[in-house]
Amino acid sequence: MTLATSPDASRARATGASLRLAILLFVADPQWLVPSTIAPIVFGLVSFELFRGEGPYFLTYAILGAGMMSMWGQTLYGSGWATGQDRQLGTLEPTIQAPTPYLYVVLGRIIWNVIAGLFGGVIVYLVVVIAAGGPPRLPNPLLFVVLFVFVMVTLASVGVVFAAAFVYSRYAGFIQNVGEFAFYIGTGCMFPVILLPFWTNPIALLFPPTWALDALRYVSIPGYSGFGWGWEWDLVGALAVTGVYAAIAGTVFSRVERHVLETGNLSDY
């Protein structure tokens, strides 16, 4: 008699197991220390020097700029790459062969990447605070923290799409690398989207992080005008677009899974 339970019963455990595995693999591989620990320190120091003296809220600018720089890669690209790594290791095939739908495995990795991204954000915060000799002036610290976490969630929602792309094809890494900087600049990770040519704005609004980052800037930098509709509408927009991403994720994954079972390319890398 099989010991395996039904796929429905094992979904939450699969997500938990995937999160646990992501932590174990992170700890086991020293190369991840660079993007997760050393890079945020460097970004924090560089950002502090770049923004130093740029008005009363320069510390907030420095933290947001460096924080996003260190978090977006960890959360968004880390989520996609986790599946790419499964392809490379040849573990995608046995994972898909398990009864739990692969989406729940991806969710576990994404949770870890959000945590790791936040860890990078905290390091940036600490570096900038230590360099400045004190914390930044935040008009609404609680809202700042909530939106900071929410930005991570929106980055992760795009990460799910990248994860699906990695299941779909071994060439997803190529697409991800090509789009890396376009996405980074286009969603406002580096500087507000409103500074970019107007025609790029509607495209940028298709991505949840654009909305969430705009909201975060609203609540942390007094006088910031952004898209001009206030952080509340930014939040509504971010929730709506993230919801759409979440809704299509399940469909995309089941279709992608069917596609790879048709093409038989699960073991290619």
Partner 1 sequence: MSDDLAIEVKDLVRVFESRKGFFYREKTRTEALKGVQLVVRRGTIFGLLGPNGAGKTTLTKILSTLLLPTSGTVRILDHEVVEDAHWLRSRIGLVLGGERGLYNRINAKENLRYFADLYGIPPSERDHRIAEVLERVDLVWAADRRVEEYSRGMKQKLHIARGILHRPEILFLDEPTIGLDPKSARETRKLIRSLVADGVTIFLTTHYMFEAEELCPRVAVLSKGRIVANDTIAGLRSRVGGDRTLEVEAYGFEDREVDRLRGLPGISKVVGEDFGPLMRLTMRDRTGETTPDQIRDLLVGHPELSVRERRTSLEDVYLDLVEEEAR
Binding site for partner 1 (CB under 8 A): 1-7, 9-10, 13-14, 16-18, 20-21, 24-25, 28-29, 89-91, 93-101, 105, 258, 261-264, 266-267
Q: Whole-number minimum distance, CB 83 to partner 1, in Å?
A: 14
Of 53 and 264, nearer to partner 1 (C-beta) is: 264
Exposure class string for 173-208: b at 16+ Cβ within 10 A, else e: beebeeeeeebbbbbbbbebbbeeeeeeeeebbebb
84 vs 164: CA distance, rounded Å: 10
Within 8 A by CB and 6+ apart from 220, the residues are 57, 60, 64, 138, 139, 140, 144
Within 8 A by CB and 6+ apart from 238, the residues are 150, 154, 208, 211, 212, 215
As a whole number of Å, the CA-based R_g of the chain is 19
Q: Whole-number minimum distance, CB 70 to partner 1, in Å?
A: 23
Q: Whole-number minimum distance, CB 196 to partner 1, in Å?
A: 32
Of 109 and 217, nearer to partner 1 (C-beta) is: 109
The answer to whether 172 and 165 are in contact (CB under 8 A) is yes
Token pair listed for 180: 């890396």
Of 87 and 217, nearer to partner 1 (C-beta) is: 87
Of 7 and 56, nearer to partner 1 (C-beta) is: 7
Q: Whole-number minimum distance, CB 6 to partner 1, in Å?
A: 7
Separation of first and last alpha carbons in the chain = 35
Q: Whole-number minimum distance, CB 8 to partner 1, in Å?
A: 9
In degrees, rounded to 5, the angle at the alpha carbon of residue 71 between the alpha carbons of residues 254 and 131 is 170
Residue type, 266: L
Of 27 and 182, nearer to partner 1 (C-beta) is: 27
42 vs 213: CA distance, rounded Å: 22
Q: Whole-number minimum distance, CB 12 to partner 1, in Å?
A: 10
Of 191 and 269, nearer to partner 1 (C-beta) is: 269
Q: Whole-number minimum distance, CB 224 to partner 1, in Å?
A: 44
- Determine the length of the chain: 269
Of 201 and 265, nearer to partner 1 (C-beta) is: 265
The answer to whether 125 and 48 are in contact (CB under 8 A) is no
Residue type, 54: E
